[in-house]
């Protein structure tokens, strides 16, 4: 199990990732855009979102740092653009920890299956800390 840092940006994520890769001497990561995600006919992708970064990851001195642009129309406040991502190969832990941490908090996305995970959810705890919970069964596309 790991707790990783997840940073969000307002349209300049690709520039940020390339800058940090250069600063820390890492390889350039695979960058997935919103336009590369499987389409959902119920939620057509706006044109302005297609080239924005949906997900990128760098390993900086042994720590995973993940990156994304915020989706158009979603709130972005510089300084509050960070969350902690719990990544676990134990589905029971993911469910139990998510359910405990959401008590008194605000769920942004209930635990559910996504195209990259059999179980993923987002919640801001009662102390204002944003969390992402992700079950990793070894089949992740990201």
Q: Does residue 87 carry a pLDDT above 90?
A: no
Q: For the domain made up of 5-69, give the CATH fold.
A: 2,3-Dihydroxybiphenyl 1,2-Dioxygenase; domain 1 (3.10.180)
pLDDT tens digit sequence for 39-60: 888 888 999 999 999 999 999 8
Q: Which residues pair with 141 in a beta bridge?
A: none
Residue 140 or residue 77, greater confidence: 77
The reported pTM is 0.73
Neighbours of 124 (CB within 10 A): 16
Radius of gyration of the chain (CA): 15
Q: Where are the domains of the chain?
A: 5-69, 84-135
Spatial distance between the Cα atoms of 99 and 104, rounded to a whole number of angstroms:
10
Provide the b/e sequence for 47-72 (b: ≥16 CB within 10 Å): eebeebbbbbbbeeeeeebbbbbbee
**CATH class as words, domain 84-135:** alpha beta
């Amino acid at each position: 199990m790991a707790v990783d840092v997840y940073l969000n940006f307002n349209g300049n994520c690709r520039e940020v990732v390339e800058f940090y890769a250069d600063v820390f001497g890492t390889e350039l990561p695979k960058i997935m855009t919103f336009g590369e995600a499987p389409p959902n006919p119920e939620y057509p992708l706006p044109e302005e979102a297609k080239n924005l970064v949906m997900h990128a990851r760098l390993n900086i001195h042994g720590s995973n740092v993940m990156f994304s642009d915020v989706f158009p129309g979603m709130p972005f406040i510089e300084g509050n653009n960070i969350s902690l991502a719990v990544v676990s190969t134990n589905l029971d832990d993911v469910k139990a920890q998510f359910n405990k941490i959401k008590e008194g908090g605000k769920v942004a996305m209930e635990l559910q299956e996504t195209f990259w995970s059999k179980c993923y959810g987002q919640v801001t705890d009662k102390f204002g800390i944003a969390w992402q919970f992700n079950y990793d069964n070894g089949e992740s596309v990201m």
